[in-house]
Structure formats: structure tokens, C-alpha cells
Amino acid sequence: MTASLPDIPLRSAGPGFFVTFEGGEGVGKSTQIELLKAELIKIGKTVVTTREPGGTTAAEAIRLVLLGNQYQDLSDRSEALLFAAARADVVKNVIDPALAAGSVVLADRYLDSSVAYQGIARNLGELEVKALSLWATRGLLPDLTVVLDLDPTIGMSRVKQPDRLESLAIEFHIKVRAAFLHLAHLEPTRFLVVDASQSTQEISELIFAKVKSRLTP
Ligand SMILES: Nc1ncnc2c1ncn2[C@@H]1O[C@H](COP(=O)(O)OP(=O)(O)OP(=O)(O)O)[C@@H](O)[C@H]1O
Ligand SMILES: [Mg+2]
């Protein structure tokens, strides 16, 4: 006997605007979020930033388990569930209220990271992990997802103190990179893939131009 996953109804951000930043380790996500935040503030937007896993008291506690090098026996499924649990918390307590208030939310990783890392690279199932995350977030999808695409050997060379996931073999990070490109290919309207080997300024200009073109005045 098999059981299929129920379809979760999707919802988008409105009246705010929800941008997520995705990509492997050290590709420049945090750098670009700060640069975009500064540009958006200059044009009068209210900006809220989050990072995953984390952003609420409970989610920060979950982060310690997910990234702590002492938790080497954490099972892959437990890892997927904990990411979803942390995401449920930050969506309910931070992202939903900010979007309801009309803010631009910039998230440092969101559900596509779960699909790429746990669903595809860990082989737990792309559709299963996406459904889990959509259940956790009550179907909240970003308006725009920026994938910073970079050779993982370059990204990993920028990581100073590797956490539990960053310590995985380069083959894992190569799979993650391919997974993000695959996800972007499936949803070309939601995703913007940027060549992250460019300068921080060049990347920032590309992202800001895209966001500006998508924001209602
Ligand atoms: N376009 C770029 N060119 C060269 N170096 C960069 C570029 N963008 C970021 N860096 C540098 O690379 C390092 C990693 O950047 P950053 O922390 O923004 O990446 P990240 O994707 O947030 O990493 P992590 O996955 O560890 O959170 C930093 O030292 C940053 O200054
Ligand atoms: Mg970062």
C-alpha cells in the first residue's frame, strides 16, 4: 500500500514582498542581504531580515542542534523535521506579521534550502520535503528567490569555522549546487539565478534591479 502526500494550498506574501536568498555555503547570501536592505531603505521601504534556522527563541535553540558539530548522530529525517519546525516558528512569529504590515522580508535561506539539502542532496525526496515545509509554513512561498550560484570549492574556501553541515564532503555541496539550479529551472518566474563569482557590487546591482522591477510603487 502507498499513501500520497496531500496538496498544500499555496499562498503568496501580500501586501508585503518576500525575497529569499539561497545557495551553498559561503556564496555571499548574508553579504547581499545587507546590501539589498540598505538599497531598499534608501527608497523608503521597511525591511525585516531573518536567517535560517533561527529568528525566534525556539528556532535559535533548534539551530544549535542542527548546526552543532556535537550532534553527528542526528538522523537525516530528524534534520529535515527540525528545519521545518524552525521554519514554522519564524514564519508564524516574524515573517507573516512583517508581510501583513507591508514590509519587505529578506530571508537568509528558506524552504528551497530544505528541498536542496535534505530532499535532493540527502535523497529524502524532493516532493516529500517540499510538502513538509509547505505544511510547516501554511503554504507560504516567496515572491522572489535569489540563488547565488558559485563553484562550491570557492564557497567552501571562504568558510572559516565549518558547522555540522559545512563539514560535509565537497561531493555533497556539488549536489546542493545542482539541486538549486534544478529548482530554479522548475520555477523560472519565482527564481533569479545570479553568477556569484562576480563582484559583490555587480551582484547587488543585479538583485536590486530585479527587486525594484517587482515591487509595486
Ligand atoms: N562576490 C564576492 N566576491 C568575493 N568575496 C565575497 C563575495 N561575496 C561575499 N564574499 C565574501 O565571502 C565570505 C562569505 O560571504 P557571506 O558570509 O555573505 O556568505 P554566505 O552565503 O552568507 O555564507 P554562509 O553560508 O556561511 O552563511 C565573506 O568573507 C564575504 O566577504
Ligand atoms: Mg551567511
Per-residue pLDDT tens for 166-188?
A: 888 999 999 999 999 999 999 99
What pLDDT band is residue 217 in, cutting at 50, 70 and 90? low
Cα 182 to ligand 1 centroid, rounded to whole Å: 22
Give the count of domains, the chain. 1
* Best of 22, 30, 34, 63 for a ligand 1 pocket test (most atoms within 8 Å of beta carbon): 30
At residue 18, φ and ψ (nearest 5 deg) are -115, 115
Q: Give the three-state DSSP class for 138.
A: coil
Helix ranges, the chain (H): 29-42, 57-67, 76-90, 96-100, 111-114, 126-136, 152-157, 170-186, 200-214
Q: What whole-number distance in Å separates Cα of residue 129 and Cα of residue 121?
A: 12
Percentage, residues of the chain above pLDDT 70 = 100
Residue written as cell 548522530?
73
Q: Is residue 40 assigned to a domain?
A: yes
In a domain, 169, yes or no: yes
* Position 11 in a domain: no
Ligand 2 mean position, distance from CA 32 (Å): 9
Residue 212 pLDDT > 80, yes or no?
A: yes
Whole-number Å distance, alpha carbon 32 to ligand 1 midpoint, is 8
With 90 as the cut, is the pLDDT of residue 12 above it? Answer: no
Classify residue 7: in a domain, yes or no. no
Residue 130 falls within a domain, yes or no? yes
Residue list, ligand 1 pocket, CB within 6 Å: 25-31, 158-159, 196, 199-200, 203
Q: What is the CA(162)–ligand 1 centre distance, in A?
A: 14
**Share of residues in the chain with pLDDT > 90 (%):** 87
- What pTM did the predictor assign? 0.96
Looking at the CA of residue 26, tell me the nearest atom of ligand 1. 23
CATH code, domain carrying 146: 3.40.50.300
Quick check: is 5 in a domain?
no
**Which residues make up the environment of ion ligand 2, defined by Cβ < 5 Å?**
29-30
Question: 9 in a domain, yes or no?
Answer: no
Q: Which domain holds residue 209?
A: 30-214
- Domain assignment present for 12: no
Contacts of 4 (CB under 8 A, 6+ apart): none
